[in-house]
Chain A
Amino acid sequence: MYNSGLRCGLLAAFLFLGAPASLTAATISGVVRFHGDIPETGTVRMVGDSFCTACHTSPPPKQDLLVNASGEVQNVVVYIKDGLPPATVNSPPSTPVELRQEGCIFYPRVFGIRTGQELRITNRDNTMLNMVAAPKSNSRFIKFIKNSSGAPETAKFEKPEVPVLLKSDVHPWMASYAGVFNHPYFAVTDGQGRFELRDVPTGMYTLSTWHEKLGVREVRLQVADMETTTVQFRYGSRPVEDQ
């Protein structure tokens, strides 16, 4: 009798506490556009390592500013900067974020990662991988994998920080940027400049973007129950919010 009552109580508590998160969860989606003349993409200048130049028939395009013909911007980090209740800061996923060197380029160029989540670094090239992280808030680290047969390296970030530059001191053109968050509400825009943040609790937030060349945009928005809030960020002009 006592046990069944306890079970009922726990079930009720679970429903009471768990339900609001799922019932009130909303989605923030949108697109990041570039306003103005679409800049031309230059090419990466690879010097000093014959392996790297041999990997490409022609110099690969730079990844620092990828804007498609419609003006949509790739590799923009979009995240909730503030307004989140403390309860949303939970433990990081156990799956690692993969970062690889291939053709003497780091992939992905921009990624998001949780504090405490594992970053797994692999080298697919038959030349050195050298990765130097020089964050401002987190601990610095350096990873070195001699060639493709070398074992993957791992790293973790302890504090939220946007951005963290991961660069190579062997191949100075190589770079990757990490956005480190203590919550799951972040995304990196795809080739069409789109992003989506799911299961966002109801509330008033500052939604922020970061791009390595274009900088930062911010917008305040109200997220309502079970609704999808659409936001359009524009670089080159003031950000526009379409609710």
Chain B
Amino acid sequence: MSQIEPVNGGDRPSYALSAFAKLTAISTFILICAGALITGNKAALSDPTWPKFAGQNYPTADTFVGGMRYEDSHRIIAGTVGILIAVLAFWVQFKVRKRAPKVLAWGAVACVVAQAVIGGFIILYLRPMVVSILHACVGQALFMMLVALAVILSPKRVGSVESSGTPRPGASFFRIQCVVACCVVYCLLILGATVRHAADVFMPQLVLHISLALFTVVMLIWLSLQVFTRYRDVADLRRVIWTLFTLIAVQYGLGVVAIFANRARLQPEAPDQAHVLLSTAHVGVGALILISFLIMALRAFQHLPVSQAAEKHQTLTEKLA
């Protein structure tokens, strides 16, 4: 029988901390969607008085008009998420002994501070395209960190023992493929942000974005074949695969709408709210696809021991630590 050992190296599971980590991750997802609403509603520079609200220290009903509603809501949500992340970091610092969660938590703090500065830079320097894209990408990276932290801190994972420590055939390669898939999807999101923030409908990026989206499907089919042939017993992986197929199917439909919404963005008129919501959903589902691939990678590290480390298999957390 394999060695039985808590994944998180002896940390006792904290339901409250885990719930708080999940809440913070969900808040970050809401923040990403709120940011997408700004772009969709052409409201990026609606309130040039950053970090204030229309020149005031707090928003009022008088200033909460037009595009400013989206921009100022984003600032309020961002401030709330910043506080949540700071609290989470201190909580992890004092509650968790392992190094990896601490690194992730303080990394998230650094990311959220960077996001605030980048957000201000976008407004003060009138939305330089590269900085807007950077803002979108760092936001996704922050979301990944918080999801990874929520997964690592989940009581199921902290208190769990591995189903089997027996080396799995091809596990090492599968893990690498999962990490590569994560990187590919992250690049896909960067390209998506480029298309979305470009001053014009930028065809080369759009073509590349669509090509990479097609490649993601091929990648997912390849990964699913491995899961359903070699690792059928790992329910977590099967669940992630089905989730990804569903999300990607939805994302393709939303992508078509997003292209039309992006063209309409260039016209000086009030955007169609249905288009705005669907293009925002495209950004949101994109973020969910990214973290689903991330979760698959984390599950692969958790559930599929590699032969070289059969005696004491390492989770991703342990590797980071």
* Residue on B nearest A46 in the bound complex, by CB: B270
Assess whether B181 is interfacial by the CB under 8 Å rule: no
On chain A, the residues within 8 Å of B269 by CB distance are 44-45, 172-173
CB-contact partner of A172 in B48, B67, B71, under 8 A: B67
Contact A170 B48 (CB under 8 A): no
Assess whether A217 is interfacial by the CB under 8 Å rule: no
Stretch at the interface among B11-19, B37-45, B305-313: B37-45
Assess whether A47 is interfacial by the CB under 8 Å rule: yes
Contact B268 A175 (CB under 8 A): yes
Contact B46 A169 (CB under 8 A): yes
On chain A, the residues within 8 Å of B199 by CB distance are 134
Chain A, interface size category, equals: 20 to 34
Contact A146 B271 (CB under 8 A): no
- Check A165/B67 contact, CB under 8 A, given A128-B54, A130-B45, A140-B126: no
Assess whether B69 is interfacial by the CB under 8 Å rule: yes
Assess whether B65 is interfacial by the CB under 8 Å rule: yes
Contact B68 A172 (CB under 8 A): no
Contact A132 B126 (CB under 8 A): yes
- Over the window 160-174 of chain A, the binary record of Cβ atoms lying under 8 Å from chain B Cβ atoms (1 yes, 0 no) is 000001011111111
Contact A48 B67 (CB under 8 A): yes
CB contact list, A48-80 vs B, under 8 A: 48-52, 64
- Check A170/B49 contact, CB under 8 A, given A46-B270, A134-B199, A146-B55: no
Contact A169 B126 (CB under 8 A): no
Assess whether A144 is interfacial by the CB under 8 Å rule: yes
- A→B interface (CB under 8 Å): 44-52, 64, 127-128, 130, 132, 134, 140-142, 144, 146, 165, 167-175
Assess whether B80 is interfacial by the CB under 8 Å rule: no
- Over the window 265-287 of chain B, the binary record of Cβ atoms lying under 8 Å from chain A Cβ atoms (1 yes, 0 no) is 00011110100000000000000
Looking at chain A's contact residues, is the secondary structure mostly helix, strand, loop, or mixed? Answer: loop
Contact A130 B48 (CB under 8 A): yes
On chain A, the residues within 8 Å of B270 by CB distance are 45-48, 172-173
Contact B41 A142 (CB under 8 A): no
- Over the window 56-93 of chain B, the binary record of Cβ atoms lying under 8 Å from chain A Cβ atoms (1 yes, 0 no) is 00000001011111010000000000000000000000
The smallest beta-carbon distance between B210 and chain A, in angstroms, is 27
On chain A, the residues within 8 Å of B41 by CB distance are 172
- Check A170/B268 contact, CB under 8 A, given A130-B48, A144-B48: no
Contact A132 B271 (CB under 8 A): no
CB-contact partner of B66 in A49, A134, A146, A175, under 8 A: A49
How many residue pairs at the A-B interface have CB separations less than 8 Å?
78
- Check A170/B126 contact, CB under 8 A, given A45-B270, A144-B49: no
Contact B126 A48 (CB under 8 A): no
On chain B, the residues within 8 Å of A130 by CB distance are 45-46, 48, 66-68
The smallest beta-carbon distance between A134 and chain B, in angstroms, is 7
* Residue on B nearest A127 in the bound complex, by CB: B65
On chain B, the residues within 8 Å of A50 by CB distance are 65
Q: A47-B273, A168-B66, A169-B45 are in contact. List 8 more A-B contacts (CB 8 A).
A: A48-B66, A49-B66, A52-B66, A128-B54, A128-B65, A168-B67, A172-B43, A172-B66
On chain B, the residues within 8 Å of A48 by CB distance are 65-67, 69, 270
On chain A, the residues within 8 Å of B46 by CB distance are 130, 169-170
User: How many angstroms from the CA of A171 to the CA of B65 in the assembled complex?
Assistant: 9
On chain B, the residues within 8 Å of A169 by CB distance are 42-46, 67, 71
User: How many angstroms from the CA of A141 to the CA of B123 in the assembled complex?
Assistant: 11
User: How many angstroms from the CA of A48 to the CA of B38 in the assembled complex?
Assistant: 13
CB-contact partner of B271 in A51, A165, A172, under 8 A: A172
The smallest beta-carbon distance between B44 and chain A, in angstroms, is 6
User: How many angstroms from the CA of A172 to the CA of B45 in the assembled complex?
Assistant: 11
User: How many angstroms from the CA of A129 to the CA of B175 in the assembled complex?
Assistant: 54
On chain B, the residues within 8 Å of A146 by CB distance are 54-55
- Check A142/B65 contact, CB under 8 A, given A130-B45, A169-B46: no
In the assembled complex, 13 residue pairs joining A and B whose CB atoms fall closer than 8 Å, in A order, are: A47-B270, A48-B65, A51-B65, A52-B66, A130-B67, A142-B45, A146-B54, A169-B46, A171-B66, A172-B41, A172-B43, A172-B269, A172-B270
The smallest beta-carbon distance between B234 and chain A, in angstroms, is 49
The smallest beta-carbon distance between A38 and chain B, in angstroms, is 21
Contact B55 A170 (CB under 8 A): no
The smallest beta-carbon distance between B132 and chain A, in angstroms, is 13
On chain A, the residues within 8 Å of B271 by CB distance are 172
On chain A, the residues within 8 Å of B126 by CB distance are 132, 134, 140-142
CB contact list, B123-178 vs A, under 8 A: 126
* Residue on A nearest B44 in the bound complex, by CB: A169
* Residue on A nearest B55 in the bound complex, by CB: A146
On chain A, the residues within 8 Å of B67 by CB distance are 48, 130, 168-172
* Residue on B nearest A144 in the bound complex, by CB: B48
The smallest beta-carbon distance between B32 and chain A, in angstroms, is 20
* Residue on B nearest A132 in the bound complex, by CB: B45
User: How many angstroms from the CA of A13 to the CA of B126 in the assembled complex?
Assistant: 50
User: How many angstroms from the CA of A64 to the CA of B268 in the assembled complex?
Assistant: 9
User: How many angstroms from the CA of A171 to the CA of B70 in the assembled complex?
Assistant: 12
